[in-house]
């Protein structure tokens, strides 16, 4: 058993124009993306290729008609908004009214942390560069999910899975896991209910915005299990599990555990190892109830009549994972994830504050409680809401998460140098290598690209030439590294690949 699996993440950033609360967020987001593109020689701005995108394809086997779809679900219609591909294989674009960074495909959870963190650097620089446009006010970006007035924006995960796994198995075994994993993936929020009308802390930023168990939507009536079925790969072999229930994490440990533990549960589902149901009687209610209780003692009811805490549910998945590993064997990163998962659950059970150096919601709650104690503040006080939002400010000198890192009050998994390298370099072990290297070496000859293709506009050729990349584990450094070393032009590269 292994946490190794093709995966990635997408983060929509909150955006504010300083001193201009009514500024158009689409315009500001476009400035961020275009400023980054212009400063990095991505001036031709290879366009995103939408040919293989099917946002209305449902994993349960039907298509939602365009007529009944909410306009916000039509993500494949090129709105003319900024949309570029980076040399590290990521996509940087404007989604609805937020700048978004989609990491390149990687093969393991620690690499997700690396390339997701690279995205924070990209966004930080994009915002700094945008501020230099004459006549623009400073733009500030937040890696969070809520404005506490009713709006929420996503931080999604993607996992490549075998197509032949029955979707109802995924729903059955993943739902209780997703409802309870917030005890370590939560980013913490001041305010309960979508509009923040209840003045209290809760563990998860996103929990209140989930209203149904299973569904296709991502912008309204959000489901715990999203059925969007766009594999961006050979659809006969793969599905892409599109996970929309996560919080945007600043903590490296939280991102790592989120992807690591989810990868483990998916491996058990694929192997048919999970046979006993842990189905909840009311998953959506349980999701909210767990989020509202930072003491982690809230009980939720299972369909079989038992009542359990989120920690007990997680403990059950951990126990099964250890059993599965004992049978199947594992590898170094899988063992590391299991160790950290167990350690975090043990310490959360003793006293959540023991995880103050590792988890976002605990670190944030610790700050909030200290302010409450020192200044005698109630949960409706603006200062506490400010601490909540500013925790996620991605500027190094303003963000409170960064303040905790700088003063060595939170643990890290990575170094700044490692992250800086992944801002420019693609992962070497997926097709993102091919995509990123094409952009790095031949960006002026690339007309468009997407997860599953790169389209060349070659000198002397009338028509565009499309190279499909339907296999996520092909196009790696091992496969095509030499071609990039030996090809001096895009035409040479294209000829070497296609024999034309």
Partner 1 sequence: MSEQQHKSTRKASEPEAQADTTEVDAERKEKLDDDVDSILDEIDDVLEENAEEFVRSFVQKGGQ
Using CB under 8 A as the binding rule, the residues of this chain from 46 to 105 that contact partner 1 are 72, 95-98
Nearer to partner 1, 44 or 428 (CB): 428
Residue 219 near partner 1 by CB under 8 A: yes
- Phi first, then psi: give them for residue 205, nearest 5 degrees: -75, -35
Residue selected from 78, 164, 411, 492 as contacting partner 1 according to rule CB under 8 A: 411
Antiparallel, parallel or unpaired: β 238-243 and 299-301: unpaired
- 132: helix, coil or strand? coil
Q: Does 389 bind partner 1 (CB under 8 A)?
A: yes
100 or 293: whose CB is closer to partner 1? 100
CB of 137 to partner 1, least distance (A): 13
| Phi, psi for 145 (deg, rounded to 5) | -130, -5
Strand partners, 16: 140
Q: Which of 277, 285, 307, 418 binds partner 1 (CB under 8 A)?
A: 418
454 phi and psi angles, rounded to 5 deg: -130, 130
Q: What are the structure tokens assigned to 86, written together? A: 């980076």
- Cα 316 to Cα 69, 72, 296, 305, distances in angstroms: 39, 38, 16, 16
Say how far apart CA 37 and CA 448 lie, in whole Å. Answer: 14
Binding test (CB under 8 A) with partner 1, winner from 60, 66, 149, 444 = 149
Distance CA 203, CA 291 (A): 5
Q: Which residues pair with 47 in a beta bridge?
A: 448
User: Closest separation between CB of residue 41 and partner 1, Å?
Assistant: 26
Q: 146 - beta bridge partners?
A: 152
Does 407 contact partner 1 by CB under 8 A?
Answer: yes
* Token pair recorded at residue 50: 């939408």
Size of the site for partner 1 (CB under 8 A): 62
Q: Is 412 in the site for partner 1 (CB under 8 A)?
A: yes
Those residues with Cβ within 8 angstroms of residue 478's Cβ, 6 or more apart along the chain or in another chain: 428, 429
The yes or no reply on residue 409 touching partner 1 (CB under 8 A) is yes
DSSP class of 374: H
Residue 175 in contact with partner 1, rule: CB under 8 A: no
From the list 84-92, 292-300, 305-313, 394-402, the region that binds partner 1 by CB under 8 A is 394-402
Asked if 165 is part of the footprint of partner 1 (rule: CB under 8 A), the reply reads: no
Question: Is residue 206 near partner 1 by the rule CB under 8 A?
Answer: no
Stretch that binds partner 1, among 149-157, 276-284, 432-440, 445-453 (CB under 8 A): 149-157
State yes or no: is 429 an active-site residue.
no
Among 102, 108, 249, 443, binds partner 1 (CB under 8 A): 108
In three-state secondary structure terms, 51 is coil
Q: Which of residues 328-387 bind partner 1 (CB under 8 A)?
A: 332-333, 336, 339-340, 343, 347, 354, 367, 370-371, 374, 381-383, 385-387
Least spacing, CB of residue 171 vs partner 1, in Å: 20
Min dist CB 333 to partner 1, Å, is: 6
Q: Does 221 bind partner 1 (CB under 8 A)?
A: no
The Cβ of residue 42 has, within 10 Å, a number of other Cβ atoms equal to 21
How would you classify the pairing of strands 210-215 and 222-226?
Answer: parallel
Binding flag, residue 110, partner 1 (CB under 8 A):
yes
Minimum Å gap between C-beta 373 and partner 1 is 9
Annotated active-site residue in 95, 247, 388, 425: 95
Q: Rule CB under 8 A: choose which of 8, 119, 154, 426 binds partner 1.
A: 154
| Given 275, 295, 415, 463, the residue binding partner 1 (CB under 8 A) | 415
Structure tokens at 242: 């599109």
Map residue 268 onto helix, strand or coil.
helix
User: Minimum CB separation from partner 1 for residue 415, in Å?
Assistant: 5
Tokens describing residue 197: 């009308």
Window of 121-129, 267-275, 406-414, 487-495 that interacts with partner 1 by CB under 8 A: 406-414
Tracing tokens 């990095």 back to the chain, one arrives at: 40
Q: Reduced to 3 states, what is the DSSP secondary structure of residue 238?
A: strand
Instruction: For residue 193, count other CB atoms closer than 10 A to its CB.
Output: 14
Burial letters 112-139, b for 16+ CB under 10 A, else e: bbbbbbbbbbbbbbbbbbbbeeeebeeb
Q: Residue 51's closest CA among 90, 89, 77?
A: 77
Q: Could you list the active site residues?
A: 95
The residue ranges that bind partner 1 (CB under 8 A) are 12, 14-16, 21, 25, 72, 95-98, 108, 110-111, 114, 146-154, 156, 218-219, 244, 332-333, 336, 339-340, 343, 347, 354, 367, 370-371, 374, 381-383, 385-387, 389-390, 397-398, 400, 403, 407, 409, 411-415, 418, 428-429
């Amino acid at each position: 058993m292994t946490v190794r699996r093709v995966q990635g993440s997408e983060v929509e950033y909150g955006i504010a124009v300083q001193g201009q609360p009514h500024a158009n967020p689409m315009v500001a987001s476009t400035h961020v993306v275009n400023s980054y593109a212009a400063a990095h020689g991505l001036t031709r701005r290879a366009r995103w290729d939408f040919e293989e995108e099917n946002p209305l394809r449902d994993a349960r086997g039907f298509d939602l008609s365009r007529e009944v779809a909410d306009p916000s679900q039509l993500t494949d219609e090129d709105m003319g908004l900024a949309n570029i591909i980076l040399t590290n294989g990521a996509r940087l674009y404007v989604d609805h009214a937020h700048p978004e960074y989609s990491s390149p495909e990687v093969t393991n959870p620690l690499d997700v942390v690396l390339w997701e963190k690279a995205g924070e650097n990209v966004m930080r620089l994009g915002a700094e560069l945008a501020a230099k446009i004459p006549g623009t006010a400073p733009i500030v970006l937040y890696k969070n999910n809520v404005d506490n007035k009713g709006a929420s924006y996503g931080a999604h995960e993607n996992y490549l899975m075998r197509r032949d796994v029955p979707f109802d198995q995924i729903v059955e075994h993943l739902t209780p896991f997703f409802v309870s994993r917030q005890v370590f993936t939560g980013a913490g929020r001041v305010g309960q209910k979508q509009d923040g009308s209840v003045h209290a802390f809760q563990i998860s930023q996103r929990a209140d915005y989930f209203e149904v168990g299973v569904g296709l939507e991502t912008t309204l009536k959000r489901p715990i299990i999203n059925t969007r079925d766009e594999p961006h790969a050979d659809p006969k072999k793969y599905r892409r599990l599109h996970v929309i229930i996560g919080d945007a994490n600043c903590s490296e440990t939280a991102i790592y555990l989120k992807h690591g533990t989810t990868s483990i549960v998916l491996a058990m589902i694929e192997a048919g190892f999970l046979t006993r149901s842990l189905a909840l009687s009311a998953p959506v209610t349980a999701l909210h109830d767990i989020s509202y209780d930072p003491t982690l003692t809230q009980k939720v009811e299972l369909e079989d009549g038992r009542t359990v805490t989120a920690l007990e549910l997680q403990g059950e998945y951990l126990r099964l994972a250890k059993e599965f590993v004992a049978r199947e064997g594992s590898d170094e990163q899988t063992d590391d994830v299991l160790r950290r998962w167990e350690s975090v659950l043990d310490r959360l059970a003793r006293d959540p504050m023991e995880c103050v150096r590792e988890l976002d919601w605990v670190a944030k709650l610790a700050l909030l409680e200290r302010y409450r104690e020192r200044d005698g503040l109630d949960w409706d006080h603006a200062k506490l809401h400010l601490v909540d939002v500013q925790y996620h400010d991605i500027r190094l000198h303003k963000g409170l998460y960064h303040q905790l890192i700088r003063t060595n009050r939170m643990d890290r998994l990575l170094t700044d140098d490692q992250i800086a390298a992944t801002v420019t370099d693609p992962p070497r072990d997926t097709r993102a290598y091919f995509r990123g290297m094409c952009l790095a070496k031949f960006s002026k000859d690339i007309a468009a690209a997407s997860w599953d293709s790169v389209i060349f506009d070659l000198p002397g050729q009338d028509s565009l030439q499309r190279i499909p990349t339907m296999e996520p584990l092909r196009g790696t450094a091992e496969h095509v590294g030499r071609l990039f070393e030996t090809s001096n032009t895009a035409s040479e590269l294209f000829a070497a690949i296609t024999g034309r």
